[in-house]
Structure 1
């Protein structure tokens, strides 16, 4: 039962980190992002360690971090060894790939690799400094595995998410929106659950998460990544804005103008009074009625002088007047 609770709480802590990382980057922005080469490299090393264990029976004894054995390399090589069985090894590699990818997209490859290295070296030094490790360092589960460095790296994303929410507080107006409250819940849940796991279960994943949370907050304030300063937009929305497909919302005035213009054009002008000067104007000033053109194409049967029509006139379906000054239409 204790092992089940241990695994469930450890998985719950990872879920909080994953949700926080997705909220930090924006779930709709992942499809169009670059290849996270730092994540590819770290995952490749972890897979290479598994292959080495399968091909060499003495790999664990030579490369794990058992304090009973000596070797300066063990603290580094033990991270890429897996001792949790098939399910535990698959979980460690899968979470490493996802967390490292999210970190690479947020921090960039150099900072991601630096934070992962800190996840390897820092917990042991801090445990020794504060005496937090104690007898727990002799637990065989701590001799190998990438979960410790992965949890520290994931906690840095949760800290960056909380800092961004706090940074948006002055512009929030009436308070946090629903999305911001959810993000704050994910971000603050990581250190809280981590401390509970450490004190209640002596679960080292919780303690390294607290270390990573503090480290991530410090690095975020110094590096100030782009996703910390502004919320990233989805690639589809960025492309629409770049090509001018996004237009500002219509204002009430513009809507009223667009509705009134067709209505004004459809309403006929008011009729003039019977004795209006415009109606009783002299007949000499009134324009002569225009002669309507032939409908459709030029009709040679209706035009007596079709042979005298030019190409331009053919296009407009007009005929030149006859020699006597009378048009073909007038003759009809």
Structure 2
């Protein structure tokens, strides 16, 4: 039964990511990918994650020094633990691949600086909520002391919020609404932290987008990409 529960947990977690990936593709427009600039900020973020895995392989003490175990001291752990991977070979590959894809989609929509800020919110917000409610264990954080999945799911959920608020099609908006609904259901049924951080990401994305639209370089949904290529301003993301 425990083995079956683990399979269901992993399948639902993966299905939620697939749903958010599809929301991201609808948001930026699959046909615009070739016309968008190289997402250098997302590439750099992924390179940090890959470098952390290399560090783990080269240094046996990396996990002890950099994970997020609350029994250990170190102000840096809340950040460094995101780039440590403890899900085995498959889990590590899944985390890095999803981070690379979601970060690229998020940079194309939010642009680089705001994408990094939202990713940072995905790192820090679960811990702050735990502290707010007096939790000593990371109950709302799916990282289990290490792993990038929590921040990645949070960032992906901001894309669903973007789709909800910008899509001219009801199908897209309904798909976006399914993201927080599925996340909440996963949390209630499985206590799956990925579902809860997804809800946080949707809420923050919805709150940030109206403000981001007022920036000199606002977010870039599919409808904002010129048909013959990005404008000079849009090329610098």
Question: The TM-score by the shorter chain falls in which range?
Answer: 0.7 to 0.9
What residue number does 1:238 align with?
A: 228
Distance 2:123 2:143 in 1: 15
SS at match of 2:69: coil
Taking structure 1 as the reference length, the TM-score comes to 0.63
What residue number does 1:198 align with?
A: 187
Task: Mark the CA change 1:189 to 1:150 in structure 2 (over 3 Å): closer, same or farther.
Answer: same
Task: Mark the CA change 1:195 to 1:60 in structure 2 (over 3 Å): closer, same or farther.
Answer: same
Q: Deviations over 1:163-217 (max 9, x none)?
A: 113xx4xxxxxxxxxxx23212320111000000111111110111111101001
The CA deviation at 1:141 is 5.0
What residue number does 1:44 align with?
A: 47
The CA deviation at 1:140 is 9.1
Distance 2:46 2:224 in 1: 26
More helix by share: 2
Cα pair 1:17 1:158 within 8 Å, conserved: yes
What residue number does 2:122 align with?
A: 119
Q: Kindly indicate whether residue 176 of structure 2 is the aligned counterpart of residue 187 of structure 1.
A: yes
Larger RCO: Structure 1 or Structure 2 (Cα < 8 Å, ≥ 6 residues apart)?
2
Distance 2:138 2:127 in 1: 11
The CA deviation at 1:41 is 1.2
Q: Map 1:1-332; keep pairs closer than 5 Å.
A: 1-130=4-133, 137=139, 142-165=144-167, 168=168, 180-224=169-213, 225-228=218-221, 231-232=223-224, 237-238=227-228
Cα pair 1:67 1:138 within 8 Å, conserved: no
Distance 2:202 2:180 in 1: 7
The CA deviation at 1:38 is 1.5
Cα pair 1:64 1:81 within 8 Å, conserved: yes
The CA deviation at 1:135 is 5.2
The CA deviation at 1:238 is 2.3
What are structure 2's unaligned runs of at least 5 residues? Answer: 230-237
SS at match of 2:35: coil
Distance 1:54 1:202 in 2: 31
What are structure 1's unaligned runs of at least 5 residues? Answer: 169-179, 240-332
Distance 2:137 2:112 in 1: 35
Cα pair 1:29 1:232 within 8 Å, conserved: no
The CA deviation at 1:134 is 6.4
Taking structure 2 as the reference length, the TM-score comes to 0.88
Larger radius of gyration: 1
Cα pair 1:136 1:202 within 8 Å, conserved: no
Task: Mark the CA change 1:189 to 1:198 in structure 2 (over 3 Å): closer, same or farther.
Answer: same
The CA deviation at 1:31 is 1.3
Cα pair 1:46 1:80 within 8 Å, conserved: yes
Task: Mark the CA change 1:140 to 1:161 in structure 2 (over 3 Å): closer, same or farther.
Answer: closer
SS at match of 1:118: helix
